[in-house]
């Protein structure tokens, strides 16, 4: 009778633990011997090993499966490989049915903590399961053609260990795609697969030159625009580097670093005083600060006409000569 409960697995022994949990020792019922990647059928049984998998049976009971799995050796190419289990991804410790259950619990507004307690799993497992399902759904939903104005930006996730690159649909203010990693080859591959990429008119991105060539190749008709945030960050970076090289104490004195970075209109009275007295001994830094303020002021201007832009540039040039 228990054979019905878990499709695709032959149950050897079950032990009931508590009300909702059962331990089961099972063997995978392989439907025919698999093929090797090289296409060969000449396989021998190499050895067996055990996998521990959490699973939900057909009638909804939770099982901790102890699965006896096989490894095969190909007689033609010598490769040793594991058998694929039905409904379980390679290396996964939870079956797809189990993950579906977690997601449906989540959809019923059961909070993560309760799911963790009921199913005896870690909070990160719950989160991973939910994320992967919703990512899948999102991918299906956004299969619309590439937007005309897009933004590209890279982020770190998992406390800075992993990278992701976000493609934003800037005309509708939503995320178009998230690409895992920041390797150029991955990003180029993903961008190349977009529908209607030749219609992209504007690509907004940071100033790193690495992506530039990829973007030119993938979006041949697009203009590349550096976004305000990244330009200002670059200006601030170089300004601070200059300050540090001109005056050693900027490196370690936070009471100077913060006000130097801040826009003038946001300075508190005491910060203003501190800067003023600092500038008295460092006139070169004061000049650079003035220039930084002008440049950032300019960069923060929105919706300018072409003529206004020309005037602004002329003004900035005339002040920058003094700095030089």
* Residues 75-104, interacting with Zn ion (CB under 5 A): 76-77, 79
Q: How near is the Cβ of 111 to Zn ion at its closest, in Å?
A: 48
Q: Which is nearer to Zn ion, 83 or 271 (CB)?
A: 83
Residue 34 contacts residue 72 (beta carbons within 8 Å):
yes
Pairing of strands 80-82, 62-74: antiparallel
Residue 199 contacts residue 221 (beta carbons within 8 Å):
yes
Residue 131 contacts residue 184 (beta carbons within 8 Å):
no
3-state DSSP assignment of residue 205:
strand
Q: How near is the Cβ of 299 to Zn ion at its closest, in Å?
A: 60
Q: How near is the Cβ of 38 to Zn ion at its closest, in Å?
A: 3
The arrangement of strands across the sheet holding 174-180 comes to 174-180, 162-169, 149-157, 202-205, 223-226
How is residue 139 written in tokens?
């991918």
First-to-last CA distance in the chain?
Answer: 87
Residue span binding Zn ion (CB under 5 A) among the ranges 31-39, 106-114, 212-220, 304-312: 31-39
The secondary element (H helix, E strand) that includes residue 175 is strand 174-180
Q: Which is nearer to Zn ion, 40 or 213 (CB)?
A: 40
Please calculate the CA angle 97-99-101 and round it to the nearest 5 degrees.
70
> What binding mask, one character per residue, do residues 201-240 give for Zn ion by CB under 5 A, x or -?
----------------------------------------
Q: How near is the Cβ of 41 to Zn ion at its closest, in Å?
A: 9
* Residues 41-80, interacting with Zn ion (CB under 5 A): 74, 76-77, 79
Q: How near is the Cβ of 81 to Zn ion at its closest, in Å?
A: 9
Q: Which is nearer to Zn ion, 34 or 87 (CB)?
A: 34
* The only residue of 15, 38, 157, 246 in contact with Zn ion, by rule CB under 5 A: 38
Q: How near is the Cβ of 30 to Zn ion at its closest, in Å?
A: 17
What are the two backbone dihedrals, phi and then psi, of residue 173, each rounded to the nearest 5 degrees?
55, 55
Q: Which is nearer to Zn ion, 15 or 38 (CB)?
A: 38
What are the two backbone dihedrals, phi and then psi, of residue 264, each rounded to the nearest 5 degrees?
-55, -40
Residue span binding Zn ion (CB under 5 A) among the ranges 35-43, 52-60, 102-110, 143-151: 35-43
Q: Which is nearer to Zn ion, 77 or 175 (CB)?
A: 77
* The only residue of 40, 104, 193, 270 in contact with Zn ion, by rule CB under 5 A: 40
DSSP-derived secondary structure for 151-168 = EEEEEEETTTTEEEEEEE
Residue span binding Zn ion (CB under 5 A) among the ranges 29-37, 176-184, 212-220, 255-263: 29-37
Q: Which is nearer to Zn ion, 74 or 152 (CB)?
A: 74
Q: How near is the Cβ of 49 to Zn ion at its closest, in Å?
A: 20
Q: Which is nearer to Zn ion, 11 or 43 (CB)?
A: 43
Q: How near is the Cβ of 79 to Zn ion at its closest, in Å?
A: 5
* The only residue of 36, 187, 200, 205 in contact with Zn ion, by rule CB under 5 A: 36
User: Could you give the CA distance from residue 70 to residue 15 in angstroms, rounded to a whole number?
Assistant: 23
What are the two backbone dihedrals, phi and then psi, of residue 296, each rounded to the nearest 5 degrees?
-70, -35
Residue 71 contacts residue 47 (beta carbons within 8 Å):
yes
Residue 289 contacts residue 250 (beta carbons within 8 Å):
no
User: Could you give the CA distance from residue 30 to residue 84 in angstroms, rounded to a whole number?
Assistant: 9
Q: Which is nearer to Zn ion, 36 or 56 (CB)?
A: 36
Which residues sit at the interface with Zn ion, rule CB under 5 A? 36, 38, 40, 74, 76-77, 79
């Amino acid at each position: 009778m228990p054979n019905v409960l878990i499709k695709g697995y032959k149950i050897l022994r079950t032990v009931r633990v508590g009300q909702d949990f059962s331990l089961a020792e099972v063997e995978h019922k392989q439907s025919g011997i698999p093929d090797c990647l090289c296409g060969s059928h000449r396989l021998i049984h190499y050895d067996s090993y055990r996998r521990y998998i959490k699973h939900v049976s057909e009638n909804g009971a939770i099982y901790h499966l102890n699965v006896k799995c096989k490894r095969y050796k190909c007689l033609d190419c010598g490769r040793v490989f594991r058998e694929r289990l039905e409904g379980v991804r390679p290396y996964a410790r939870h079956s797809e049915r189990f993950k579906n259950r977690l997601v449906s619990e989540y959809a019923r507004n059961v909070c993560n903590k309760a799911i963790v307690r009921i199913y005896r799993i870690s909070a990160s497992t719950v989160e991973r399961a939910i994320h992967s399902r919703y990512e899948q759904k999102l991918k299906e939903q956004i299969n619309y053609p590439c937007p005309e104005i897009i933004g590209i930006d890279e982020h770190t996730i998992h406390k800075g260990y992993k990278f992701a690159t976000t493609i934003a649909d800037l005309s509708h203010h939503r995320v178009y795609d998230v690409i895992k990693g920041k390797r150029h080859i991955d990003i180029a591959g993903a961008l190349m697969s977009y529908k209607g990429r030749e219609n992209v008119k504007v690509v907004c991105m940071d100033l790193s030159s690495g992506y530039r060539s990829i973007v030119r190749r993938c979006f041949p008709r697009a203009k590349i625009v550096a976004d305000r945030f990244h330009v200002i960050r670059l200006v601030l970076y170089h300004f601070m580097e200059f300050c540090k090289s001109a005056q050693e104490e900027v490196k370690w004195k936070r009471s100077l670093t913060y006000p130097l970075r801040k826009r003038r209109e946001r300075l508190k009275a005491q910060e203003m005083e501190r800067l003023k007295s600092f500038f008295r001994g460092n006139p070169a830094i004061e000049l650079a600060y003035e220039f930084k303020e002008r440049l950032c002021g300019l960069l923060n201007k929105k919706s300018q006409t072409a003529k206004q832009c020309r005037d602004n540039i002329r003004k900035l040039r005339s002040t920058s000569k003094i700095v030089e």
